[in-house]
Amino acid sequence: MLQEFRDFALKGNVIDLAVGIIIGAAFGKIVSSLVNNIFMPVIGLVLGKIDFSNLFIALNGQHVASLKEATDKGIPVFAYGLFINSVVEFLIIAFCLFIVIQQVNRFRKPAPPPGPSGEEKLLGEIRDLLKTERA
C-alpha cells in the first residue's frame, strides 16, 4: 500500500498539479495586490475619489463610518465594494489565463488528419478491382 501511494504521489501529473496550485496561489496574491493597490485606487480617483474597498450597506440600519468599524462592532453588512474588487481580480486572472492558453495552443503541433475509415478503404479496393477488370 505504501508503494502504491509513493507511485501515485510521484507521478508526473500529481507533481505538475502541485506546482500549478502553488504558482496559482502566488499569482492570485499578485493579482489581488495589483487590483487593490494599483487599479482600484486609479478607478476610484477617476470616478470621484471613491474607495471601493469601503463601499458597503449596513443591513441593520445603523450608521457607521467604515467597513472596518462595522465588522469590529459585528454589524451585518452588504460589502459590495469588496465584491467589485473580486470581480476585477477574476477578470484579470481570466484574461491572463486566456492569453496563456492561446499561446500554448499556438505552439502545439496540429493533430495529423485521420486516415481513411474502413468503409473508405473498402470502397477504394472495390474501385481498384473494377479498374483492373475493365482494363
- Are the C-beta atoms of 7 and 64 separated by less than 8 Å? no
- pLDDT score for 12: 64
Task: Give me 106's grid cell.
Answer: 499556438
Distance set, CA 135 to CA 4, 121, 123, 124, 127 (Å): 65, 21, 19, 17, 13
- Show me where the domains of the chain are located: 2-134
Topology adopted by domain 2-134: 1.10.1200
- pLDDT score for 135: 66
- pLDDT score for 14: 73
Task: Give me 117's grid cell.
Answer: 475509415
Helix axes 80-107, 12-34, angle to 10 degrees: 130
Which among 97, 91, 107 has a CA at the least distance from the CA of 24?
Answer: 97
- pLDDT score for 76: 92
What string of pLDDT tens digits covers the 135 residues of the chain? 888 877 776 666 777 778 888 888 888 888 888 888 888 888 888 888 888 888 898 888 888 888 889 889 999 999 998 898 888 888 888 888 888 888 888 887 777 888 888 898 898 999 999 888 886
Structure letter (DSSP) for residue 77: E
- pLDDT score for 77: 92
